[in-house]
Homo-oligomer: A and B are copies of this chain.
C-alpha cells in the first residue's frame, strides 16, 4: 500500500481519452477492460493466463464472495488478492446488481436490501455500509457504492425513486469509506435509467459528494445500444476530466469502441468469458461460432496473426471438436482467445488515441468486423 489511487489523463483524441490509473497493486492503462472473476476466478483461466492476455485489473463480485466463501473468511486468509493468487489490481462491485438479478426473494428498503441467498436460502442483509465493509474485507483496490439498479424500460417514478435512493446510499458509502485505510478508491454510480434529466441530476449530486471515479450503472440491462451510447455521450461532458469513467457491464467489442469514442475509460463484461464457454470466439473479423458444423474440417486457426497461442496454435476443426465433445479445453482455449482479443482491442484503442488516429482505428476496426470471417479460398 505504498501508492494511493490516482488517475492521470495522458492524452485525448476528440472525446476519446487515454490515461493511467495508479493503484497499490500496479498501474492500469486506460481505456481498460476488466475481465469478470465472479467467484474469485476468471472462469477457466489460471491467473497467469489472465495476466498473459494483457489484463491489468479484474472485477470480482461482492455478492457471490460474501455468500461463498464469505468475506470474513477471505480476510482471514489474507484477502482476495492472495486468495485467488492475483497480485494485480481488483475492482469489486457492491453486490447490488446481483441482488436484483439472482435472488428470487428480496426487499429493498432505504436502510438496506434484504435478500434470500440463492445458495442456501438464508436471509442476508446488504446495506451501503456492509457493502463497503465487505469490499474492505476482500481488500479491493477499487470499491463501488451500493446502488439500486432497475431493468429497462421502467416507469419514471420508479427510476426517480431508485436514483434518489442510490444517491442517499452514495452519501452513506462515502462516509463509511472514509474510515477505511488510505490507498483505496471508491466510485459513485450514476443511475436514472434512460431519462437524461435524472441521469444529469444523479451525476451532479455524485460529483458534489466527490468520488475517485464515476460509473455509469443501470445500462446494458436490455435497452437498445443507441440509448446506452446517447446516455454516455450526454453524461461524459459533465463528468470531471481528471477522474476515470467506468461503463458497467459493457459490452461487445463494438460497444467498447463506441463508448471510448464518447469518453469512457473503463469497462467490465462477462461477454468474452461467457461466450467462450458457449463456443463463440471474438476475432478481428467479427464473431465466429465454433459450434457451427462448417468448422468441422477447417484446418485454419482462429487468427494466425494473434499474439495468443490459443488463437494461433489450434485449428478451428479441433476447437469445433472440443466444443462438440463438451471438453473443458474448448472453453479454456476460447476464453484465452477472447480475453486476448478484447485486450488487443483495448491496446489498439490506446495506441490510436496516443497517435491521434482514433477515428481511423475506429473505421478500420469496424470495416474488418464488417468484412467477416468467411473462409478464404
Point out residues on A near B: beta carbons under 8 Å.
39-41, 43-46, 48, 68-69, 73, 76-78, 83-85, 296-297, 299, 309-310, 313-315, 317-318, 320-322, 324-325, 327-329, 331-333
Contacts and interface: CB of A to CB of B under 8 A. Distances in A.
Contacts of A315: 77, 83
17 contacts: A40-B321, A41-B327, A41-B329, A43-B329, A44-B328, A44-B329, A46-B310, A68-B324, A68-B325, A69-B296, A73-B317, A77-B318, A83-B318, A83-B321, A85-B313, A85-B314, A328-B332
Contacts of A45: 329
B69 A332 contact: no
Nearest to A321: B69
A61 to B, nearest CB: 11
Nearest to A82: B315
A39 B325 contact: yes
A332 B299 contact: no
B297 A327 contact: no
Given A69-B320, A328-B331, 15 more contacts: A39-B325, A40-B321, A41-B327, A43-B329, A44-B328, A46-B333, A68-B321, A68-B324, A68-B325, A73-B297, A77-B318, A83-B315, A83-B317, A83-B318, A85-B318
Contacts of A68: 321, 324-325
Query: What 7 pairs between A and B have smallest CB-CB spacing?
Result: A41-B329, A69-B321, A39-B325, A44-B328, A41-B327, A85-B313, A77-B317
Contacts of A46: 310, 329, 332-333
Choose among A41, A76, A314 the residue with the greatest number of B CB atoms under 10 Å from its CB. Answer: A41
Contacts of A297: 73, 76-77
Given A68-B324, A317-B77, A318-B84, A332 B296 contact: no
A39 B324 CA distance: 11
A329 B46 CA distance: 7
A118 B84 CA distance: 39
A120 to B, nearest CB: 11
A2 B137 CA distance: 60
Given A69-B296, A299-B78, A331-B328, A318 B40 contact: yes
Nearest to A69: B321
A48 B85 CA distance: 21
Contact of A328 (B48, B83, B324, B328): B328
Choose among A309, A318, A321 the residue with the greatest number of B CB atoms under 10 Å from its CB. Answer: A321
Choose among A41, A296, A309, A329 the residue with the greatest number of B CB atoms under 10 Å from its CB. Answer: A329
A43 B328 contact: yes
